[in-house]
Amino acid sequence: MTDASELRARTQEFLAAHPPAGTGRTDFLKARFDAGLAWVHYPPGLGGLGASRTLQAVVDAELEAAGAPDNDPRRIMIGLGMAAPTILAYGTEEQKRRFLRPLWAGEEVWCQLFSEPGAGSDLAALGTRAVRDGDDWVVSGQKVWTSSAHIARWAILIARTDPDAPKHRGITYFICDMTDPGVEVRPLRQITGEAEFNEVFLTGVRIPDAHRIGPVGEGWKVAQTTLMNERVTIGGMRLPREGGMIGLAAATWRERPELRTHEMHQRLLALWVEAEVARLTGERLRQQLAAGQPGPEGSGTKLVFARLNQEISGLELELRGEEGLLYDDWTMRRPEQVDFTGRDIGYRYLRTKGNSIEGGTSEVLLNIVAERVLGLPAEPRTDKDVAWKDLAR
């Protein structure tokens, strides 16, 4: 069983053979993957060593101290946090070996083709169709709110393959090549002035059956792995004390004494405590996840993440007074990574409004926590046994 001292020694040996200063960034990252130091809890040959997830921090600390490059995790967050664990859990051996290495090294960016104009909070109501044609599936439909689609090479996609089945049972999960004919990406401008996400139109896109993940008709089950990992990825990011949004607000408080009032002090203290509790809870959750897949508890961390970000950015806006209202960057940018903290308080205040929507709306996550964590009675669902084609839309 690999322990911390073994991993530390292995990492030092790797650094001696691949000194960061003399190795190209991509070559270094590929070699790190091949050495099993990418994500140590993955199996050997797939970037890992079959070790405990908690030991990844040992490797990361050694590499960071040596000045090694990282894989720009914010840019490839969807691949790392959503596509990779799904492929690992349900993909074929060929899929794992084809996709995981370039995904982790950042050579191929991923996006997520799940939500649709008529199927956001009720994702299982999706209407994008996939029809079997020999060894291929022909996919047509529209997806929306797709972060990084404008730079992505691959997408994780769920589509309806059996309209006669109830909505949760007639879905199949695929890998879609975003460069294929029939894939059209259009920017969606958001309140910040940027267009970090998109709408995607699929018109007769041919996907080989070899790019199907999991059995036909069981895409909802596969998608649950993606969704649970997504919520942990968004709401459970590892942060130091005073990391994230609360650190920015606290820095403003310390650097600008002329802005302080007793009321603002009390509110900041309360939010600081909540942010620290959320950080420690997230750390505990990651330790619980070390031996298995994330469960519904990740919905709780994502809920708290959204609320705290919005309250903290609102407090900082008030703290700065008239200065906080300034926001002069309305450029139509096409950023290559999701940025929750952003450039200035105006941006942060506007961007956090999306935190309670992306990765599952807060209303849906409240239901998940109530039913699957707290064990409260489920809401009545009259449509769960009705064929999708017979549902009102």
Active-site residues, by number, are 230
Closest CA to 348 of 326, 333, 363: 326
- Asked whether 207 and 140 are in contact (CB, 8 A), the reply is no
- Asked whether 170 and 388 are in contact (CB, 8 A), the reply is yes
Residue 99: how many CB atoms within 10 A of its CB?
Answer: 21
Helix runs in the chain, H state only: 4-17, 25-34, 56-65, 77-78, 84-90, 93-104, 219-235, 245-255, 262-288, 297-320, 345-351, 362-368
Whether the CA torsion 231, 186, 153, 351 is positive or negative: it is: negative
**Quick one: 255 exposed, middle or buried, by C-beta within 10 A (0-12, 13-18, 19+)?**
exposed
Closest CA to 239 of 277, 194, 205: 277
- Asked whether 128 and 142 are in contact (CB, 8 A), the reply is yes
